[in-house]
Chains A and B, each alone.
Chain A
């Protein structure tokens, strides 16, 4: 059993009253401690008093927790590839065989998940390292970390994992150092001839996920503290969102990626030179969110699905790429439209000359005169100056390039289609591109419009690469959608950063007891099976049902691109408060850390669980008591894999869209195996029957209609009060009945006593319970996996 009691590092001697009678007492004056040393000792004792068992855990320190999770949620593998192609022993076919190194298919899948999690984690953490180093250089290591008036728990992940609270920017370096050390060990495990068992690869993947969560927190805290982004502000401003909000008459600078620094440099230069109104600065992906957190004048074009369409539209005079989620052919695409490209970080150099130390005007001259294909500039301030100056020069001469081929030309191109159908076969979603082209050849563009609307086609461009006639299908789509894009004018609430402690204090009890039926986080990318509308519809469904809905990144943008019957976006309809019916945009990808952070804060603020170095107890609390569920309906990247794996380790289940099955591994529970749901009641020490709550830890749903009831179900937790359980079951039953026509067949598993039965379904549920021979069961007051087998 893991003991969370304080560890006293130095123990004072127990002197009795008859001390002076004690024989053989030796006093050495040289050993008398100074006042400073005593103070230090006191600090150490203070610190040790609250430190849990695993400060700065190494790879195997949380292994026992991972094994408990996997005891319930056995990894489910769906190989994407039957072979291992990593080393020169192979290729090895692992179909019911081992590889030349001895690895089997399960271990290989787990290794690929570990690798993906390491890549994703490195992506966020490399980004954070860049931010921390740059911001320390600019603001100094002593720049205080102040997350706002109502936020005392400034870094819940860092506190829990490292056992320390960062007070100033310089403190973040220690966290980065720890994280980087762990990442080296994790990545090394992927090497041929190292780890051999799938469950240990899994444990390491979970650790990589945890490092990812930590890295994201470091990054967002650094930028919030140094760049003064909103600090848990429920009234963060509304930002303009959508292609239609961009004034193409002005010089346009488009930022793509995730790192705020170059975008901030652009905004600063515009401010300093009084050109705020003269240019349009807009962004795609998380850079857009973070730049608009920095300066609300920046506009958000939209999620990653807008990338190729918008670049092809030629609206941007200058494209500034930073890191992550940027099309790797961005330079080629931009050149076709005479758009200048500036690369700005070491992660994406695009083969461009490093002109960081070059005079700004000379760089501008080289760019506008086409002496260079683009420029690599690693100084954000210089990026700002060059981007603005270049855009202003290029804009007038690019007027004609901001127009796509006219519709007659689209029709003419479409008439060349041979109807081979390969555009549909290579489409990740099998969308009917050929039908759209055939119709367009007849002058009917409605099918193209259907593909354009809500990014049903997310413009990966695979169809174009396959077309035997080399039809520019994405440009044709962009042209047909041009008219529609003018109407794409929405509002998104700027990313507010973390939940305030006072908000957590207010909602902690209702969440843990079940009165607020759940906290659902819509995160992830935009490779949706049927466009972004489904994400917004899911968010709306849960907002109407009184859940707290969190969101970040591309998910936040997709939600913002939807209008309800009254023509309002959900951000205009619902408050940004961390409370029931709140739609809380926490920010960009790195702000996903605040989703986890909120659940950790619940454990601390509501349940008084100490955080420092106390991962397992906190995760156990979250798993058993905090009804949170992540939804990554369009998860596409290794970053999304890392995020999900990390939040899973904290005990938070995640539902993926159907593409999520390509991550190769899920964590599925077995409701039919009663033994796997046993819990220990910490109040009594009794090990007792549990319930499949949450039933799965990582799940891929095939359709939205399947996902909705699953999400509601995964918010059920063993500690729900009877009233809370009624509310949760009512939602689950409602949604299941809507799409399946009857009540869920597993409802008896979640009814502990008659009091749990929702009043509206009382008779029906009672009949089901009778049919299956249900008996009421004892409810654990403090359900836990701590102290169970494996400790």
Chain B
């Protein structure tokens, strides 16, 4: 059982059509993804052993996935010994119930959050709200999205679909005043708003980029410093962590702290890296809870091909190079995990029935695989997931028929001949243009945006037989 915000409510082609109509969105996305894409390329190009680093990252993660129960148990023991309380949650509902109960026990009505994909995945904010608890997002982009009453559309840059003047308008509507739409002015308005929240909050909620098994240490990598505020100021810290975030040893961090910033923000090193291990008397939160979330990960682990998606370190490099993402944005994917990684992660985490159109939301161009710092072969997993459909009856019939024809020389030659003959009158009708403007369903989907070519007057094998075999 799993749930939360990883199930798309609309099939991808339907959701994509709506987003495609938004020219502003496309312009914003193009700008943002190309800027970050170029920056990533420059930073990756600086590292002479980048390919070896990628291989190390993939190998460490694969090792983790192959002995996850053992490492999780080790992590739990170490974190408990350091004074943290570890909780286990099988699915989104269980995770939300645990966190909500922990917050309620503190008697507070407002918590500060540092951006956490897994709390979005499980739909934690809604659950807290239902219990009368306000969750304040403190990451700048996350705050913008929250103030807009919107949902994130990118893993790393949740407000990527807005430009600066749209952001100023959102701030104005919410009483955050910025005189201009200059990024520093907007950031200053957010800073003033958030400072008051940080100083009054008694409970902080975080995710973790990594969880070190040998020491029970959690790691958060961020750019704005809001994370460190959330992690150090409140009395109580609740960290919600996906079970795949485990790394065996401290030394393994060396690899990922190089891979992650260069892949995600295109920086050599991120500005803030916070590590905390349980409770330290007189310093930082005096009560620390860690909620380890499964929510479909164990089932994903059981799939030989698909499990590589669990290597993902949420850097979003695949989103920034994806030509499909660039056109439709994150909302079309209907999940907190958009883009290429979302197209393989969301269907697996949410189990069989949901998100079945997402694996088709790709041309298999492979740019994502090249960009992935942990070498997730996203095209391979996409094709793997397509084996289970959906296969519309007409398509299935056509595929079966074509397979039956194309495996036999005589049937195949006859079919080519028939297609060539069938096209003759159309060729005559199209005259010198030689291309077709409108075809009947289902080929009308092709001619909706482009002309169609016609079969040639003579197939290659007819030419060969005529010219070469006499």
The answer on A and B forming one complex is no
Residues of chain B whose beta carbon lies under 8 Å from any beta carbon of chain A: none
Residues of chain A whose beta carbon lies under 8 Å from any beta carbon of chain B: none
